[in-house]
Amino acid sequence: MQKQELLDCHARIEPYIHNTPVLSSGLINELIGASVFFKCENFQRGGAYKMRGATNAIVQLSSEERSKGVVTHSSGNFAQAVSLAAKSLGVMAHIVMPTSAPEVKKKGVQQYGGIIYECEPTLEARQAMADEIALRTGATFLHPSNQMNVIIGQGTAAIELMVEHSNLDAIFCPVGGGGLIAGTSLAVHYFGTGCTVFGGEPFEADDAYRSLQSGKIEGNETVNTIADGLRTTLGDINFPIIKEHVSAIIRVTEEEIVTAMRLVWERMKIVIEPSSAVTLAALIRNKEDFQGQKVGIIISGGNVDLSNLPF
């Protein structure tokens, strides 16, 4: 992995993505005792950062590969991102979604032209159906978080954040499948100066925290968390990157996630999903360690079911 690869990726996807705004809140700064800069990927096309990785993966396919389409499995944000990126590039998208996926995210996939295939809500069922579709159609499989093209694409959000605020002490991002934090940590490794990367993760789905403790990929005992985007596990490609470049994973309770989500909605007047609130919750929980520092937070997305809010 070279620094130039990240720069090339950013140039490649720039025509298809938004350079999202970086916002801050005086009240939140005061509450934490630090200067906090929110990279608002909830304003990204498709409503989440995943548009970056999906676009980078699809734009590099050959014309023959594009003609056969792409296939992925996702509970929501990557499903929408692949559907929208594929539509932008004239490619057919086959999307495997668990029956438990939020209706708002299924609707988004349909609106972006993705073809939905529903399966049982297990990773095994998701992968099996995606493999079957790839075999039948010749579509290229895109993994939501465990392919280098996807990981590098996700890292471009942190690059943009560091261009705007070059002297950050730390960057926080949520940890689900590990693609965002792996990409972010690579971006910080190559472009950050004295900047460290922290992950936020629910206690109810803390596989990344336990994986860093044990040194090997751990599964989830439970996925009983409101942060539906973080219920997946790490992969063999992103885990070594996380192990090498991430300082720590901070776990938070469901109550802390809801409190942080509400704080952003009320004080910043922006819509963020529970998975995004995990990062602010993690910073609040450990705020004593970041007094007087400049901290970036990747707001991963804003795809919320408004009929099912936790407050």
Is 24 one of the annotated active-site residues of the chain?
Answer: no
Distance, CA of 280 to CA of 259 (rounded, Å) = 10
Is 75 one of the annotated active-site residues of the chain?
Answer: yes
Distance, CA of 276 to CA of 7 (rounded, Å) = 25
Please answer whether residues 20 and 302 qualify as being in contact, where contact means their C-beta atoms are separated by less than 8 angstroms. no
Count of CB atoms situated within 10 Å of the CB of 258 = 17
What are the DSSP calls for 123-192, one per residue?
Answer: HHHHHHHHHHHHHHH-PEE--SSSSHHHHHHHTHHHHHHHHHSTT-SEEEEE-SSSHHHHHHHHHHHHH-
- Sign of the C-alpha dihedral, residues 83, 217, 301, 45? negative
Query: Which residue in 39, 50, 105, 106 is the catalytic one?
Result: 50
Phi then psi dihedrals of residue 51, to 5 deg: -60, -30
Query: Which residue in 35, 39, 74, 75 is the catalytic one?
Result: 75
Residue 58 one-letter amino acid: I
Catalytic residues: 50, 75
